[in-house]
Homo-oligomer: A and B are copies of this chain.
Amino acid sequence: MSAAQELIARVRLSLAIEPGDGAVSDSVSSVGAARTVEELLDGDERPELVARLRTVDPERVLAVADRQRVRFVTPADDEWPSQLDDLAHGQRVQGLGGVPVGLWVRGPMRLTDLSESVAVVGSRSATSYGFDVATDVAASAARAGRPVVSGAAFGIDQAGHRGALAAGGATVAVLACGADRAYPAAHRELIDHIAQRHAVVSEAPPGSAPTKVRFLSRNRLIAALSRGTVLVEAALRSGALNTAHWNDQLSRVLMGVPGPVTSATSQGVHEWIRKGSAALVTSGAEVLELVGGSGEHLMAVPRGPERAHDGFSLRQVRVLDAVPVARGASTESISSIAGVGVQEADRVLVELTEAGLVHLAVDGWRLVAGGGRGGGGR
């Protein structure tokens, strides 16, 4: 079988099947596309698929796609994102799965550049909180040189793209409709902008309308293309959780951004963190740490603001801590509570006075208001 025949057979299958047709994908992976087409035409198991295979016109569609600057990318191409081959292991989510027979791509970006990408997905009805966090996380990924991958929906998808673009990074929209189309229509400008600078990808051929099956199949591509997925706001039955299931299947890193427990759009995320399927992340830095290779992006343990008496001696801290919160105390009482001698206590109290932390009031030693006491033992 020639490479050209294989390519045409893959286009033909892409035009005839629904995205995520696992049986066809598995056959293509094992015997090739041309032979798969032959076997389907010879068999009588899938008469509707056979009817479609007989009517589609691969050459014509390829020519039209070319005029629309949409190209068809297969495993035979240099730019094939090899991480998609992880889909060849028979996993199914809601009956769908398999390596796509090819991807329809609009935009100058090579798909191999997605090997270190981060997916940012979540609720379409995001809150402004979720929108802001998704924007931040995507911008962090982009600044670290990692492309962002998402759908093109309202809410978190949009925020992910905008964050990456604002940071001057790359972002890729994976659509449930054809790569030449825009769904939702309100995102036509955003989608065209991404296609102009980076890439818009679909498993469905140009002209396809978005359907539920295509959304579900699309979600597996978002999970498979990226090193890990950040889930920012998802209600309990959110479609974004379908991407999370794919992440699970593919052993990709799944991360969830928490939110108020009173927010319905965070409930799905909390549920996934609770059951141990998603790691809680609170910042782009934490995302990069989790998707990074070993040693990359290892982040400093957050510490919180330095306190005025950081760096004090243990003795100084003890004496300071022995000064009561609410009233004055004698040197004797402080020495006894701090467990140091009276003269020692007196000496340290003078040091603390010089540091502006305590003062001698009429009823004894007192803390200076706002003098760096801060959080304490609550």
Contacts and interface: CB of A to CB of B under 8 A. Distances in A.
A280 B302 contact: no
A277 to B, nearest CB: 12
Contact of A375 (B18, B235, B260, B377): B235
Given A211-B321, A218-B377, A267-B302, 16 more contacts: A18-B339, A48-B341, A151-B378, A153-B378, A210-B324, A212-B320, A235-B304, A237-B303, A239-B376, A239-B378, A258-B270, A259-B259, A259-B260, A260-B260, A262-B378, A267-B304
Contacts of A18: 337, 339
Contacts of A183: 325-326
A336 interface: yes
Q: Which 5 A-B pairs have the closest CB atoms?
A: A215-B377, A236-B304, A239-B378, A258-B258, A212-B321
A343 interface: no
A133 interface: yes
A209 B375 contact: no
A353 B227 CA distance: 43
Contacts of A336: 48, 52
Contacts of A103: none
Interface residues of A, number: 77
Contacts of A339: 18, 48
Between A183, A236, A378, the greatest number of chain B beta carbons within 10 A of the residue's beta carbon is seen for A378
Interface string A152-188: 0100010000000000000000001000000111000
A54 to B, nearest CB: 13
Contacts of A214: 377
7 contacts: A123-B378, A185-B326, A210-B325, A237-B304, A237-B305, A239-B376, A264-B304
A270 B326 CA distance: 32
Interface string A333-370: 00111010100000000000000000000000000000
A327 interface: yes
A283 interface: yes
Interface in A205-224: 209-216, 218-219
A376 B282 contact: no
Q: How many copies of this chain?
A: 2
A274 B264 contact: no
A250 interface: no
Contacts of A291: none
Contacts of A209: 324-327, 329
A378 B237 contact: no
Given A258-B261, A260-B129, A239 B377 contact: yes
A151 to B, nearest CB: 7
A261 B324 contact: no
A257 interface: yes
A322 interface: yes
A280 B286 contact: no
A240 interface: yes
Contacts of A304: 235-237, 264, 267-268
B271 A283 contact: no
A210 B326 contact: yes
Nearest to A258: B258
Interface in A253-291: 257-262, 264, 266-268, 270-271, 273-274, 279-283, 286
A124 interface: yes
A307 interface: yes
B326 A262 contact: no
